[in-house]
Structure 1
Amino acid sequence: MAARPLVARQPNERLQALIQEAGCSNAGLARRVNMCGAEHGLDLRYDKTSVARWLRGQQPRGRAPGIIAEALGRKLGRTVTIDEIGMANGKNLASGVGMQFSPTVLGAIEQVCELWRSDVGRRDFLGGTTVAASALVEPSRDWLITGPDAQVARSAGARVGLSDVAAVRATTDAIVELDHRYGSGHVRPVVVHYLNSVVSGLLAGSYRESVGRELFAAVARLTELAGYMAVDTGQAGLAQRYYIQALRLAQAAGDRAYGGYVLAASMSHLAAQLGNPREIAQLARAAQEGARGQVPPRAEAMFQAAEARGHALLGDVRASQAAAVRARDALEQAEARPDSGDDPHWITHFDRAYLADELAHCHRDLGEPEQARQQAEEALRGLPEERVRRRAIATLLLATAQVQQRDVEAACHTGTRAVELLGRLRSNRGTEYLDDFQQRLEPYREEPVVREFNARLEVYAA
């Protein structure tokens, strides 16, 4: 019987070109892929022979293509997609949804609407991918160098007016209040369905130039909020997609100030959560540079506070302190003119309490517990009772400072108050702060007050 002919594989020229661009040997790439996989809990054991097989056209299974793309992206300092390494099948190609800063307004509409559709469909690839540092920084570079969109008006579809824009903004305000009180786990599904079923139709409608700019601004805000809610429900890979699209929508709105906010308040905080301190400072500085002369002092204070957090995580006391001083100065300037009308709606929440919360993080990360305690207490004095998640986080920052000061009894009592607040929320962010606090208590686990606190936690978890 004649042997069945083998199907010839095509050499993977895309992967070969990227390996050459990165200056990697086959063995070097294999090591990088194995290390990257280990960070994601995968026991990969590739070697130079494995890479040679990939170059001959063999497709590795499972999550390996994404890990290979991430490893090459780290070496190249930019986002590398699975398609770029020549390993995209239908699902993997789709995993690029929401990851691009589109060069055109039409492309931006198509991309963000596809993201919403995919999110409503609960497609696994959206949240299952990891966040590479370059995936956060590269869109900021696109935003910095991209000129304004000359035109956003459309003449196809149902007429969209300012009343429609007002409805999007009112919906956003209502959702924000619910999110503050109850956490994103309760309200995020509502946001995503609203974006997909209502807002997508508005973007595809007919609107004149002035209405279009206002529409893109309103949708950018709600898209950013959906990204934050993805963070708060433990979906960092999904959050980055929403943040990239919010940045692009802000560009279409012609709103450089809000684009800076997305970088400094959203992407940089995501980088902080993921432990990428250099990217935090980079994103904050990109916000400052790209929105220079177009933001009020209150927004400038937030941008500087974000930079301070990045430097603190890097252990750079002097740079962190300098950015913190600039943040305080900018906020004092804003509060000296409370009736100026300079502040857009999206930055009015950044007050002394919010700044104190940011600085408490800085002092915690710099190992300065007394200053961290003072700032956390100031934050709690100023935060409204309805800001339940923010108060829970500030309370845990205070408890952490008390642990750092070795006042374990006070820390446990403070931590108990935080647990009570968290019991009213569905918030992954709050849970992460609680986990960090519990780890800091570990050296004192045999003390009676810690045993009692841990017992309370078991009841809370149940």
Structure 2
Amino acid sequence: MADLVRKRNEELARILHQLGWSPERLAREVSAVLPAGLAISATAPYKWRDRGMVPRAPHDQTVCEVLGRAVGIAVTYEQLWGRMGSGRGAKILSPRLLTDPWTADTAQTALREAGADAAPVRLTDLFRGDELEQAARHWASPPPEVTGGAGALRIAPEQLADLRLSYESKRRLERAYGGGLILDLAKAELAMVGKLLELGAYDEKLGRELYGAAGRLARLVGWANYDMGNDAAAQRAFVAALRAAHVSGDPRLGVGVVGCLAVQATYNSGGRGLDAVAMLSTALRAADEVLTPRERALQLGRIARAHGRKGEQISAEAVAERAFQALDGVDDHAHERADLAGMVGEMHLFLGDFERAQRMLGEAVAALPAERARTRALLMVRLAEACRRTGEREEAARIADEARLLAAGMQSARVARALRAFDAAAREEVPLAG
């Protein structure tokens, strides 16, 4: 009955107005990319725009994709339909994803789901914080026996080397152009690695390395989903990555995945009631002896930023200092320092110390290389907000315009959302939401 309540979808109306599209045009564009049996009527978009109705899958996600391509920047489910209150659609893919035994077999199941081209997972499907914290504790326990490995496909170290190269290339593309560009490719490759685990012939050592490769790919799928605003799908991929990291016996990979969950929880609804500081601090303590200084600095920076989001200034500044100290004496760490400066700048922005935020964010933007364009664009928007909050409105507008130019065509909902929030704050002179 909620769909019968007249509730105009202002975001859909705004995008259609920006494109100069009528609802009939939207209906034609959506029908053109779907199989004939799924075509929609010319009047359906009027109901979405004027009455707040939410289309069922796959039409809901298809509308986002069609509008995203037309606008030139990602349009997400949360942005378009999240406030309309439908509550319909796909629910939890596997309700036991967190509670199933942490074995190699269940890791394969989780990886298979993360790589599947399934129906969209909605914001209502987010795990609770206590559920995620329980999963985050499992990866540090002793790894289980590697089962399988008796299939017909002989796996050799050369295949693992190829998987590593493929992963690194997708990771570089994601950092430059956004998660939307590589999401489908990464999911397809994860599905392929899942097949190798299922059908391959490998010994225990090679099997654990193969699970590590699968875990890194699942983490990339999760990060790309998060970058596109698909929070629940991102969580499931991260949990699959945790399960694979557990089987691989690689605690460094496990800490990295927990760090991704903590970033998600710091900025939005990634985990209802999840305490990002507590979860990542526990993970860091469990693996502190095996982390490199660069890895330790990255995770400490994430913890400092999460403290800042909670308004805990003393703790935030103490952890930030530890993060910079972790890089002392490390050669060739300019990029790591730039990442850390960006996180600490965001921390100060959360705490309302806009002048220090401006300095740190300016340092980060200046030092990040061109191949880190997505992060650079995001931090430029944060820097523009810091300038706006210190009264330098012309400088803020200039930096935001540079970020907008850099982000043109970029498939990153996070950057698009940050730009929209900055523009709204600049118009209304209200604080920028995280």
Interval containing the TM-score (normalised by the shorter chain): 0.7 to 0.9
- Structure 1 counterpart of 2:359: 374
Q: Is the 8 A contact 1:280 1:309 kept in 2?
A: no
Q: Which runs of 5+ in 1 are unaligned?
A: 1-39, 44-61, 67-90, 339-347, 446-462
Q: Kindly provide the CA deviation profile for residues 414-441 of structure 1, in whole angstroms up to 9, marking residues without a partner as x.
A: 1100110111411101112112212321
* Pair 1:166-2:161 in alignment: yes
Structure 2 letter corresponding to 1:141 = R
Structure 2 Cα separation of the partners of residues 245 and 201 of structure 1: 15
Q: Is the 8 A contact 1:373 1:402 kept in 2?
A: yes
CA shift, 1:195, in A, is 1.9
Given the alignment, which residue of 292, 295, 301 partners 1:296? 292
Bigger Rg, structure 1 or 2: 1
Q: Which runs of 5+ in 2 are unaligned?
A: 1-81
- Structure 2 counterpart of 1:451: none
* Counterparts of residues 391-410 of structure 1 (less than 5 Å): 391-410=376-395
Q: Are the structure 2 counterparts of residues 394 and 114 from structure 1 closer, same or farther at C-alpha, using a change threshold of 3 Å?
A: closer
Structure 1 letter corresponding to 2:384 = A
Q: Is the 8 A contact 1:260 1:291 kept in 2?
A: yes
SS at match of 1:425: coil
Given the alignment, which residue of 249, 263, 270 partners 2:264? 270
Q: Kindly provide the CA deviation profile for residues 282-308 of structure 1, in whole angstroms up to 9, marking residues without a partner as x.
A: 122022122121111111111211111
Structure 2 Cα separation of the partners of residues 349 and 224 of structure 1: 25
Q: Kindly provide the CA deviation profile for residues 11-45 of structure 1, in whole angstroms up to 9, marking residues without a partner as x.
A: xxxxxxxxxxxxxxxxxxxxxxxxxxxxx7577xx
* Counterparts of residues 22-61 of structure 1 (less than 5 Å): 41=83
When normalised by structure 1's length, the TM-score is: 0.70
Structure 1 Cα separation of the partners of residues 305 and 91 of structure 2: 35
- Structure 2 counterpart of 1:282: 278
Q: Are the structure 2 counterparts of residues 274 and 92 from structure 1 closer, same or farther at C-alpha, using a change threshold of 3 Å?
A: closer
Given the alignment, which residue of 332, 356, 367 partners 2:341? 356
* Pair 1:250-2:245 in alignment: yes
Bigger shift: residues 356-365 or 300-309 = 300-309
- Structure 2 counterpart of 1:116: 115
Percentage of identical aligned residues: 26
Task: Kindly report the root-mean-square deviation, in angstroms, between the aligned alpha carbons of the 2 structures.
Answer: 2.5
Structure 1 Cα separation of the partners of residues 409 and 339 of structure 2: 21
Q: Is the 8 A contact 1:102 1:108 kept in 2?
A: no
SS at match of 1:412: helix
Q: Is the 8 A contact 1:359 1:372 kept in 2?
A: yes
Structure 2 letter corresponding to 1:430 = V
Structure 1 letter corresponding to 2:110 = Q
Structure 1 Cα separation of the partners of residues 166 and 114 of structure 2: 20
CA shift, 1:126, in A, is 6.2
Structure 1 Cα separation of the partners of residues 299 and 393 of structure 2: 34
Q: Is the 8 A contact 2:229 2:414 kept in 1?
A: yes
Q: Are the structure 2 counterparts of residues 124 and 426 from structure 1 closer, same or farther at C-alpha, using a change threshold of 3 Å?
A: closer
Structure 2 Cα separation of the partners of residues 230 and 219 of structure 1: 16
* Counterparts of residues 191-206 of structure 1 (less than 5 Å): 191-196=186-191, 198-204=192-198, 205-206=200-201
Structure 2 Cα separation of the partners of residues 288 and 158 of structure 1: 37
CA shift, 1:384, in A, is 0.6
Q: Is the 8 A contact 1:140 1:263 kept in 2?
A: yes
Given the alignment, which residue of 201, 213, 222 partners 1:218? 213
Q: Are the structure 2 counterparts of residues 41 and 388 from structure 1 closer, same or farther at C-alpha, using a change threshold of 3 Å?
A: closer
CA shift, 1:352, in A, is 0.7
Q: Is the 8 A contact 2:130 2:274 kept in 1?
A: no
Aligned residues: 346
Structure 1 letter corresponding to 2:357 = A
Structure 2 Cα separation of the partners of residues 320 and 260 of structure 1: 20
Structure 1 letter corresponding to 2:262 = S
CA shift, 1:157, in A, is 3.4
- Structure 1 counterpart of 2:317: 321
Bigger shift: residues 283-292 or 207-216 = 283-292
More RCO (CA 8 Å, sep 6+): 2
